[in-house]
Structure 1
């Protein structure tokens, strides 16, 4: 039975069979981008020398996200990779990722965005580092060796620079807290997820801050990253909230 620190253990019926690596994809209204990402991820994982599963966490989508996944759930994929779809009633990417982590029993667990902006074969290096004992391994667009295949707009780049400045108040040694491709030792992730409260886009910073406070390290892997159209992030709606959340995280030290 999987337990989260400070919370009652989850019933076994709510957890999934153990694998070495479980990849969570939080999804909110992703009927257009998600199917191709799931298909590419399943194909990649099928060729890897570790057991794995893909878990889509639907975050109250109101479009055809669930219908778009029927071809993966309604019939065998023919691949030796688990595929699961679960729901999350609490709104926000952070809540969806925590739901996926809490219900996982994998040795390593992490998440990737529905847009497939980070090359999925980055996992080769990620798993190698996790097996070596690192607490968290994250993709980075700003670490030495990274390359932006397609850059964000000037407005998004400016907002991102301000966000990084505030994030460095809590995590001064991490160049990129916001690339949506992060993986963790499974036991560690389940322990710290129960102590996280941020549901919005600053949830990555809170999660990584708990890794560091637990005495574990965070390793950044430089990637060739592509900005994909269709992001649900809104500078007007989410920007100020994210900045406020960063200050809350910093003050919680």
Structure 2
């Protein structure tokens, strides 16, 4: 299939996801089989040691990018830059937001929005199975994000995000925290790469919108409340520090005007 025939690239970062990935890939394949457009599925293996890459490669129509283990932010970036579809959809390996939400994101993109992000907090959003303390932690973290770097977005961390390919390539080429020089890490590394991505989108003047989604908490989540909260806080502070140092300067004038819905 030629690149021109591809409407959608689905990018799935995966670290030791041999247990959860089969159900996700099956659900995505079943959905895509009912669609008339071309799509590619990119599983970005973040240095897994459990056979994730081999398992993903066994599924027809799935491409696998094999990386050293540098964390989720680096894996998402690699997948987004490799994407060839007209639109790039980022989603988590557990498919916490069902793929059936995609048409609502596509509609926003076709209407001219440059970055469309899932929100677990908007009117109409639903959260299923989430422990109360995780919800509280998420709201506190979002308050810190708004205070330090990024106001006006209710949920920066939902893993379901979409953008046109040219926007994805522009943004991910500019990220600093999890760019080409990101170090090799040990263990699961959930990061706040989303904050830098959205900060850059706003700085470039791209129009950002939020879509309320149905989200299901994963019982096998790799999030460590203490370790990852500290890492994410560090990432948010780095975004502000990078901006103060002028590391996000740009002369690009995007065609998509800025707004947050």
Please list the CA deviations of residues 45-72 of structure 1 after superposition, one character each: whole Å capped at 9, or x if unmatched: 2222322111000000011212322531
Aligned length: 229
Q: 1:191 aligns with which of 170, 174, 180?
A: 170
1:249 matches 2:227: no
Q: 1:84 to 1:17 in 2, by over 3 A?
A: farther
Give me the whole-angstrom Cα distance separating, in 2, the residues matched to 1:90 and 1:198: 15
Tell me what 1:228 maps to.
Answer: 218
The answer (yes or no) to whether the contact 1:150–1:225 under 8 Å persists in 2 is: no
**For 1:109-132, what per-residue CA distance to the aligned partner results, in whole angstroms no more than 9, with x for missing partners?**
121001111011100111111122
Question: Shift of residue 86 of structure 1?
Answer: 0.9
State the distance in 2 between where 1:34 and 1:83 align: 12
1:10-52 Cα distance to aligned partner (Å, 9 max, x none): xxxxxx9451110100000000000110110111122223221
| Aligned residue number for residue 14 of structure 2 | 27
2:34 aligns with 47
Q: 1:160 maps to what in 2?
A: 138
Match for residue 8 of structure 1?
none
Alpha-carbon separation, structure 2, partners of 1:92 and 1:227: 21
Q: Which residue of 2 aligns with 1:111?
A: 90
Cα deviation for residue 107 of structure 1 reads 1.4
Tell me the SS of whatever aligns to 1:252.
Answer: helix
2:202 and 2:87 map into 1 onto residues whose CA distance is: 17
Q: Distance in 1 between matches of 2:86 and 2:150?
A: 25
Give the structure 1 partner of residue 68 of structure 2: 89
**5+ unaligned residues in a row in structure 2: which ranges?**
179-189, 244-261
**Deviation by residue 1:63-87 (Cα, 9 ceiling, x = unmatched):** 1212322531xxxx4xxxx421111
Runs of 4+ in 1 over 2 A off after TM superposition: 66-71, 197-200, 250-253
**C-alpha distance in structure 1 between counterparts of 2:175 and 2:57, whole Å:** 32
User: Does the aligned pair in 1 maintain the 2:56–2:62 contact within 8 Å?
Assistant: no
Match of 1:7?
none
Structure 1 residue aligned with 2:50: 63
- C-alpha displacement at 1:168, in angstroms? 1.2
